[in-house]
């Protein structure tokens, strides 16, 4: 790794000058965010490479605040003139404050890339070979697999964040991902199975993860579902397999703990710090420092180093997540949760890797202790109304539990519940913690990479949105 030393994206003096321009209209605080994103992807479908796409995006977003008002402008022109123009546009929208002198920038402006093998250094032929291998492994499982599509994607995102408080930090994030989607065809129509592996690493991902085994799991999932019966309709106990449902906590309570939503009264968790909001077995953490997980970052998109934040400890609400604006108005420390989709967007409070910590129960005992219910092996995406806490999730792989045993597979349907209710209704938590699949969290039209995880656990009752009575 020693040969890959990269400097800051832009010259320190140029950034300092831009901040001065941005504050020239009476701005009280200013920030320059520079981003260079290089991505490449390859799609394999119907047994052949369908497309290979590469892209490059480079630009800066400049933010100026006066009191509670924010001016923001973005530009793809990183010349001195281009930055000056954007700084003036941002300054024009945030003016009239008392004169404030920006602090001289300090810091290296760079964090070295942590990938062992930068994906851009790997030949395209090797990537195509990987796709072919994945496709073949899925097709070999059963002749009922009629379609396989595989997607490889790599992204390297270098950022530089500087502000008038003197912050001058950078990060160099590399993420690599492979996903496979199988279609199985049976007497009762088509079913799908999907698997994804993705980490904040380089091409060494494939030294550590067996893509063929992953392809077989996706194929088997589709085939299993050919025999699936309609899911029940109504309330039942639900056991969620480890790593299969961390997204439930991301949606059910994570969003409601974002300080911007709390601040606007749009969260059911407002004014509840110090209260018992969950079963005492629940400890919920958001941790941007976590190894090579999908939501891991060295610094957030406001230049604050990522950190581990305990949000709920033994059932008690301990803290919200924060960005610059919200922490400033509440006069408290940052938490490393200010993130944005790209240099064209304003940052806001976002999660990183959000997970429930281990309990003490053997997962087998959780299943055998459930007389009748649903076993969810994999949840799909979800959505939450933060004002009420009502959420909904797709179950992409689920089974009936009958007399303490996992039995028939179920067709896809949604789970619905209420965040605060679910937190109170977690009956038992396993000791088998695992992180789940990589995800993209969407909020106000911006997508950012996030991770989630949880041990096997049981919720006393959730509404299953099936069609069987």
Site for other proteins in 373-432 (CB under 8 A): 380-383, 385-388, 390-394, 396, 411-414, 416-418
Listed in sequence order, the DSSP H helices in 252-333 are: 259-263, 324-329
Q: Which is nearer to other proteins, 192 or 368 (CB)?
A: 192
- Between CA 469 and CA 461 the distance in angstroms is 16
* Choice from 130, 346, 450, 457 touching other proteins (CB under 8 A): 346
Phi/psi region, residue 389 (left: phi>0; alpha: psi -120 to 50; beta: rest), is left
Q: Is 276 near other proteins (CB under 8 A)?
A: no
Q: Is 55 near other proteins (CB under 8 A)?
A: yes
Q: Is 229 near other proteins (CB under 8 A)?
A: no
To other proteins, the closest distance from the beta carbon of 104 in angstroms equals: 27
To other proteins, the closest distance from the beta carbon of 223 in angstroms equals: 13
Which residues have C-beta within 8 Å of that of residue 169, sequence separation ≥ 6? 107, 108, 109, 111, 160, 161, 162, 299, 303, 305
Site string for other proteins, 59-88 (x = CB under 8 A): x-x------xxxxxxxxx---------x--
Q: Is 320 near other proteins (CB under 8 A)?
A: no
- Applying CB under 8 A, the site for other proteins has a residue count of 81
| End-to-end Cα, the chain, rounded Å | 59
Buried residues in 271-298 as b, exposed as e (16+ CB within 10 A):
ebeeeebbbebbbbbbbbebebbbbbbb
Residues 155-174 contacting other proteins, CB under 8 A? none
- Between CA 65 and CA 42 the distance in angstroms is 41
Q: Which is nearer to other proteins, 290 or 450 (CB)?
A: 450
Which residues have C-beta within 8 Å of that of residue 313, sequence separation ≥ 6? 283
CB 16 within 8 A of CB 105: yes
To other proteins, the closest distance from the beta carbon of 278 in angstroms equals: 18
Q: Is 274 near other proteins (CB under 8 A)?
A: no
Q: Is 56 near other proteins (CB under 8 A)?
A: yes
Q: Is 185 near other proteins (CB under 8 A)?
A: yes
Q: Is 93 near other proteins (CB under 8 A)?
A: yes
Q: Is 46 near other proteins (CB under 8 A)?
A: yes
To other proteins, the closest distance from the beta carbon of 177 in angstroms equals: 18
Q: Is 128 near other proteins (CB under 8 A)?
A: yes
Buried residues in 184-203 as b, exposed as e (16+ CB within 10 A):
bbeeeeebebbbbbbbbbbb
Q: Is 234 near other proteins (CB under 8 A)?
A: yes
């Amino acid at each position: 790794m020693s040969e890959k030393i990269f400097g800051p994206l832009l010259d320190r003096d140029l950034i300092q000058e831009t901040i001065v321009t941005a504050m020239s209209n009476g701005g009280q605080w200013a920030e320059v965010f520079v981003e260079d994103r290089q991505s490449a992807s390859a799609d394999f479908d119907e047994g052949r490479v369908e497309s290979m796409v590469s892209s490059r995006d480079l630009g800066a977003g400049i933010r100026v605040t006066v009191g509670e008002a924010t001016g923001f402008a973005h530009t793809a022109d990183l010349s001195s003139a281009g930055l000056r123009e954007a700084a003036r546009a941002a300054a024009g929208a945030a003016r009239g404050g008392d004169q404030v002198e920006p602090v001289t920038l300090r810091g290296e402006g760079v964090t070295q890339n942590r990938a062992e093998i930068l994906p851009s250094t790997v030949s395209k032929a090797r990537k195509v070979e990987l796709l072919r291998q994945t496709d073949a492994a899925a097709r070999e499982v059963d002749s009922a697999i009629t379609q396989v599509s595989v997607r490889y994607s790599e992204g390297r995102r270098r950022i530089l964040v500087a502000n008038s408080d003197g912050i001058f930090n950078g990060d160099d994030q590399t993420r690599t991902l492979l996903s496979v989607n199988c279609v199985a065809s049976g007497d009762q129509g088509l079913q799908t199975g999907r698997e994804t592996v993705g980490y904040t690493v380089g091409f060494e991902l494939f030294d550590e993860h067996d893509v063929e085994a992953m392809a077989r799991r996706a194929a088997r999932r589709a085939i299993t579902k050919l025999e699936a019966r309609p899911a029940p309709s109504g309330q039942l106990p639900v056991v969620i397999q480890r790593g299969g449902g961390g997204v439930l906590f991301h949606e059910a309570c994570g969003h409601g703990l974002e300080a911007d939503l709390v601040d606007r009264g749009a969260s059911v968790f407002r004014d509840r710090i110090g209260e018992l909001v969950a079963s005492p077995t629940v400890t919920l953490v958001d941790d941007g420092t976590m190894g090579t997980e999908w939501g891991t970052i060295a610094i957030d998109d406001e230049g604050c180093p990522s950190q581990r934040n305990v949000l709920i400890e033994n059932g008690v609400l301990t803290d919200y997540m924060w960005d610059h604006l919200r922490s400033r108005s509440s006069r408290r420390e940052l938490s490393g949760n200010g993130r944005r989709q790209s240099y064209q967007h304003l940052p806001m409070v976002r999660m990183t890797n959000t997970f429930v910590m281990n309990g003490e129960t053997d997962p087998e005992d959780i299943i055998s202790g459930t007389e009748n219910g649903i076993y969810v092996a994999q949840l799909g995406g979800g959505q939450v109304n933060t004002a009420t806490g009502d959420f909904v999730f797709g179950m992409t792989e689920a089974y009936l539990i009958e007399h303490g045993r996992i039995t028939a597979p179920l067709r896809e349907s949604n789970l619905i519940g209420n965040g605060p209710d679910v937190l109170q209704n977690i009956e038992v938590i396993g000791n088998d913690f695992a992180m789940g699949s990589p995800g993209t969290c969407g909020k106000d039209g911006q997508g950012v990479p996030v991770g989630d995880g949880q041990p096997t656990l049981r919720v006393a009752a959730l509404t299953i949105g099936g069609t069987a009575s």
